[in-house]
Homo-oligomer: A and B are copies of this chain.
Amino acid sequence: MVTINLVILGPAGSGKSTLTANFGKWIQKELGFKVSYVNLDPGAEYLPYRPDYDIRSLVTVKEVMKREKLGPNGAIIRCMDIMMENIDKVVKKISGLKSDYRLIDTPGQMEPFTFRRIGPELVSKLSDLGSVISLFLVDSVLASSVTGLIVVELMGLVVQLRLLAPTLIILNKADLLRVSFDIEKLLTDPEYLTKALNKDMKEGLINDLMLFLGEAILQYFQASRLIKISAKECKGFEALYDLIHETFCTCGDLT
């Protein structure tokens, strides 16, 4: 079996490390596959899993703050650049981990990883050596309105286009999600979407834009690409695994 790299991204607080730990355990226990764990967050203070490769052996935000007398923002950026300078070493370490699945946890803030060179380059190099699927994780609260859901879909697009890897959008903490609309129906039924948007929005300049985007997203995306889980409660993992597997089978040869 070829190794599948799962790159887990998302805004701070979306539950990346919890998903890495619990989904990894689930894959090992329920499916019997060998899993390795990678931490790429140089600012991590505590991890709920034991990383087989840890970027903090190369660099940490705190030591950069101290050594280079930088503020936290500057130090995070500097860490990304240090990772970039050492990318071949990092890729070698990761690709040396023999397993069926590699769960790759990324920096707390998604932005410096995704918008600087390191994220796209790393994914590109891993794709040359195997299969990469990116899991874009967001807190369900961001998708608790129709406009919020559309913003999440757009963000998923941005991630996919920056990393150029198939990307699954995952709503975490879904057990806490309370919405007045049917997400699946929203992403498949244009009439339902238009109604929900009209109900959701204030009047004004944003209205037309949202309607346009909603319909555009609906035209293009399959509802199945969006999935609800609870990383903490280990819920939705079967559906997530099925989607990963399906994505791998569809895209595996193209990447």
Contacts and interface: CB of A to CB of B under 8 A. Distances in A.
A73 B41 contact: yes
Given A62-B71, A112-B12, A206 B147 contact: no
B62 A160 contact: no
Given A110-B111, A254-B205, A158 B162 contact: no
Contacts of A151: 158, 161-162
A154 interface: yes
A30 interface: no
Interface string A192-211: 00000000001011100110
How many copies of this chain are found per oligomer?
2
A11 B204 CA distance: 28
A151 B202 CA distance: 27
A24 interface: no
Contacts of A164: 202, 206
Task: List the 8 closest A-B pairs by CB distance, nearest first.
Answer: A73-B108, A45-B71, A72-B72, A111-B111, A43-B73, A61-B72, A43-B72, A11-B115
